[in-house]
Amino acid sequence: MIQAARDKDQPDIPDDFGNRDYSPYRFFTADEWAHFRADTPLTLTGDEVQRLRSLNDPIDLDEVRRIYLSLSRLLSAHVESSQMLFEQRKQFLTLSDEAKTPFVIGIAGSVAVGKSTTARILMELLSRWPSSPKVDLVTTDGFLYPNAVLQRENMMDRKGFPESYDIGALLRFLSAIKAGKKDVKAPMYSHLTYDVLPNASRTIDRPDILIFEGINVLQSRNLPADGKIVPMVSDFFDFSIYIDAEEKLIHAWYVERFMRLRETAFKNPDSYFHRYATISETAALAIAEGLWHNINLKNLHQNILPTRPRADLILQKGRNHLIETVALRKL
């Protein structure tokens, strides 16, 4: 029999979520979590997983079986429950013309921890449910202020921090999505030019499920003293996931990814980081370390990690970049 919630003194689960006796989460090892897959079919191939994973992320079909099939089954239950509640509320309010709104899944976590891979894998799995739901994926990158604005405000070294995003545009987008509006525009971002694409957008037209991914999507905001409504991004989420790992591992993954990009994407003359492809390996390594300590680590400590307890599900990765622990918020 699977032990549903691990004892607090189990050594194979990192004890960094506070006192287990009072924790709002249930904790599972990856092997325990894998059993919750039940009869959920594997609908991805090895080639598809390889195409969906990000640079430096070793996820394979075994990881999909261990973690993501159970997660897909759990999300299916949440979506079905949300739809049933919608119908019940519709009857309660005697509404005849109200359409259900998208089920929104937020994915948060540090840079280089694997959020994009998780988001793409989930998008493919959820879209292949028997009901064939329409699933869209949007990242917060497009909602960053353009580099010209960040440079003017002397905030380029704060890019990715909460203040570097156009929160108004972000909230208007999610509000329109949750209102069930047609053809909502999402701004686009280029990782090649490291900037928002001017006058470029993609249309999100009433999906059944929207995955919204970004480092600070669980960020809270200061509340007004007069009690006025101040919406937060996470107010629009039906389910939220935080991708986690030890700080030293994220540090290593960030530097490894930077050095690999130096041999690949940075070689493109149009790349914002092309200059890093032409310097020595020692100099590039020093720059990667500086970017980590001066920007990304500060953002992690000040803004990202403090939002972890707000997630419904925490996926804790180990040294090999594969998930070792799953923490699920109790109902």
Q: What is the pLDDT of residues 262-286, one digit of tens each?
A: 999 999 999 999 999 999 999 999 9
* 3-class SS string, the chain: CCCCCCCCCCCCCCCCCCCHHHCCEEEEEHHHHHHHHCCCCCCCCHHHHHHHCCCCCCCCHHHHHHHHHHHHHHHHHHHHHHHHHHHHHHHHCCCCCCCCCCEEEEEEECCCCCHHHHHHHHHHHHHCCCCCCCEEEEEHHHHECCHHHHHHCCCHHHCCCHHHECHHHHHHHHHHHHCCCCCEEEEEEECCCCEEEEEEEEEECCCCEEEEECCCCCCCCCCCCCCCCCCCHHHHCCEEEEEECCHHHHHHHHHHHHHHHHCCHHHCCCCCCHHHHCCCHHHHHHHHHHHHHHHHHHHHHHHHHHHHHHCCEEEEECCCCCEEEEEEECC
- Comparison of pLDDT for 5 and 26, the residue scoring more: 26
Annotated binding residue at 112?
yes
Annotated binding residue at 49?
no
Q: Averaged over 133-158, what is the pLDDT?
A: 97
Cα separation, 115 vs 28, whole angstroms = 20
**Per-residue model confidence (pLDDT) at position 20:** 65
Q: To the nearest 10°, the Cα dihedral for 196, 215, 36, 324?
A: 120
Annotated binding residue at 298?
no
Are the CB atoms for 5 and 33 separated by under 8 Å? no
Quick one: what percent of the chain has pLDDT higher than 70?
Answer: 94
Annotated binding residue at 110?
yes
pLDDT per position as a tens digit, 52-103: 998 888 899 999 999 999 999 999 999 999 999 999 998 999 988 778 899 9
CATH of 46-219+229-329, one of 3.30.465.10, 3.40.50.10490, 3.30.70.360, 3.40.50.300: 3.40.50.300
pLDDT per position as a tens digit, 204-237: 999 999 999 999 999 887 777 787 777 899 999 9
Annotated binding residue at 220?
no
Cα separation, 195 vs 231, whole angstroms = 26
**Per-residue model confidence (pLDDT) at position 3:** 41
- Comparison of pLDDT for 119 and 21, the residue scoring more: 119
9: pLDDT confidence band, cut at 50, 70 and 90? Answer: very low
Place of tokens 């960040």: 150
Q: Averaged over 175-199, what is the pLDDT?
A: 96
**Per-residue model confidence (pLDDT) at position 224:** 74
Place of tokens 């999906």: 207
Whether the predicted pLDDT of 10 surpasses 80: no
> Judging by beta carbons within 10 Å of its beta carbon (0-12, 13-18, 19+), is residue 285 exposed, middle or buried?
middle
Annotated binding residue at 113?
yes
Annotated binding residue at 164?
no
**Per-residue model confidence (pLDDT) at position 16:** 54
